[in-house]
Chains A and B, each alone.
Chain A
Amino acid sequence: MSTLSTGPEHDASPIIPIPGCLIPLKTTLETREEVKTLRVHVTAVRPQVASGTLGLIRTLLPKDGGFDLQHLRRFAKPETLPASVVEEYTSLSSSRAEGGERVIFLILAATSLIPSSALAESLEAHLESKVPLVEISVPLLAPTSAAQAVAWSNEYWPCVYKKSNPFGPHPSLVARAQEEVEGGSGRWMGVAWEAARQAADEGVGEGVGVCVVERKAGGEGRCVAVAGDLRWKGWGGRDQGGSGNVTAHAAMRAIGMITNSLSQAIPSSTPTIFQTSQHLPLESSPLIFPPDPDGYLCHDLEIYSTHEPCVMCSMAIVHSRFGRVVFEQRMRATGGICADGEGGLGHGMWWRKELNWTMLGWEFVRDGDPETKRLIDVDEHLNA
């Protein structure tokens, strides 16, 4: 425990929850602008033979040859299609001169599965009439919002938004989790900011802090670790210049505090630079509960950070298997969590499939005037 006093005004002031709300983060895949498309054969048939035609396709190419087309309407009336699709079909079929007979369009198969000549031949044998095929592009993956579904329907082919998200966590999962964490998030952000303030006031670190919360199935969360930045401790202060002790960033310290209390952890027998012992007054507060000694890393815990963690801390959070990450101030030049944002690194590390661990993530947005809401200023190029 530190011998430094925080002064009576600090001891007396309880942590005041910060009013605000949570905005779900975007994944790297969601922020990519281009739409991946698939080339497919389409045609139009009389409604009476529509289901028979699809049945033939199902026999010819079971399960659509492995392509998932669930987000596309299989059948579409001409008036629901982009004009270009209908025009191209009409130009091919005009010789038939069917005099305004009603037809319905349908997606047959990906062009990579079967050449149009072979497909036409199979269908013509069944339908006993000529089958003009048109090749068009359709979105390969499901839309991630209702608005995107409408835009794609106008541009390519009628799409269905099923509240699924191939580019990130399922929207209903995010919504349920947000209900769970949103109410208490202002309180935990308040704790994180208080740790940041203590670190900055004491001069041992930058004004960055985190609070780690454990939550049992849907219940109230409880704080199991608080850490402020300690990069200048042992370094001789910020005046010395340089990076400071990079391993003493707030998130790294909090992870160390949690894992130190695991029952089988063996502490280092030699001195290290790792600042995983409690130092700031708030870090030893009686408000902090001991974490589960039988836990594994920081599995499914929640981390609330005043600032977007740097690339190192973001990956440390992934390695430690946190379940949820919340931060307030974006760090465009250095942050590893966000995927979007002008001038950001774009790493989106909270949810990247290749990293073998994903979590849920939110940006905490404080109520009130954004110009006046910052408690502590840090350099915009700081690695938080």
Chain B
Amino acid sequence: MSSRNMSSDEHALHATYMNEALAMASHALSTSETPVGCILVHPLHSILARGLNATNRTRNGTMHAEFIAISSLLTSSLPGSLKTQTWKARADMLRECTLYVTVEPCIMCASLLRQFGIRRVFYGASNEKFGGTGGVLDVHRGNGKMLSALGTSSGRDEVSEGRDGEEEKEREEGDYEVSGGWGREEAIVLLRRFYVQENGRAPEPRKKGERVLRLDVAPLGEGVSS
């Protein structure tokens, strides 16, 4: 899935949806949460659910935006005929849904999305510490299984877009498409705004008083500070 082959209309549509995800991330920042936001978009029903990180509020390190969005999809009131659907029927809609998320899903969330059967994922900043769709593992392709001959996970050098030309492994049940770099600069600046604040809940909080917020973001390939 490469943005290079996209029409400008299609490109603009994805950018618009990513702005909705970024709005969720901004909201997270204003409530002292790590600024990561996401939305789930269905081709017929448009935005079905939104999520933002809730790890600080819940004190639970697994409450990432993707979990919140999927929980919302399964439990919130949905329009029209969708209203009465069961968890199972609502979860089945994920097979047609695209997730727009401001930061590459971590390994945990990449596996959550795989198990629930998401159709595809657009993300902003890549996540070199925990990323599950290219950053550290490739959970979206064959569950990230190591290619034993190489001792590395498949294709981890390719992070963002342009996977089309790559040698394709046979598609496995649960595999999903991924495209990175959408709204990347905005996503990174939001994270930086958060990290100049103190995280008083971590043991032995580090002094961040002298940290300066940088607003310039290096182009892709020159190091991402997500």
Contacts and interface: CB of A to CB of B under 8 A. Distances in A.
A316 B62 contact: yes
A242 B92 CA distance: 8
Interface string A228-261: 0000001110001111011100001001100110
Interface stretch (B40-48, B109-117, B163-171, B206-214): B109-117
Given A236-B86, A266-B57, A247 B71 contact: yes
A311 B107 contact: yes
B151 A32 contact: yes
The winner among B67, B106, B111, B116 for most chain A CB atoms within 10 A is B111
A276 B60 CA distance: 11
A336 interface: yes
Interface stretch (A190-198, A281-289, A345-353): A345-353
B111 A311 contact: yes
Contacts, number: 136
B201 interface: yes
Given A246-B112, A272-B75, A296-B201, A334 B146 contact: no
Nearest to B131: A354
A379 interface: no
B107 A315 contact: yes
- Bin the interface of chain B by size: 35 or more
A182 B75 CA distance: 43
Given A236-B87, A236-B88, A346-B148, 6 more contacts: A235-B86, A270-B75, A312-B107, A312-B111, A316-B108, A336-B107
25 contacts: A240-B88, A242-B91, A252-B62, A255-B60, A265-B57, A265-B59, A266-B57, A268-B58, A270-B75, A271-B75, A272-B75, A311-B111, A311-B139, A312-B107, A312-B115, A315-B111, A316-B62, A319-B106, A319-B108, A321-B61, A334-B143, A346-B145, A346-B146, A347-B144, A354-B129
Interface of A: 32-34, 234-236, 240-243, 245-247, 252, 255-256, 259-260, 262, 264-268, 270-274, 276, 296-297, 299, 310-316, 319-321, 334, 336, 345-347, 349, 352, 354-356, 383
In the A-B complex, the 10 residue pairs with the closest CB atoms: A346-B146, A315-B108, A312-B111, A259-B60, A311-B111, A315-B107, A265-B59, A319-B61, A262-B59, A246-B115
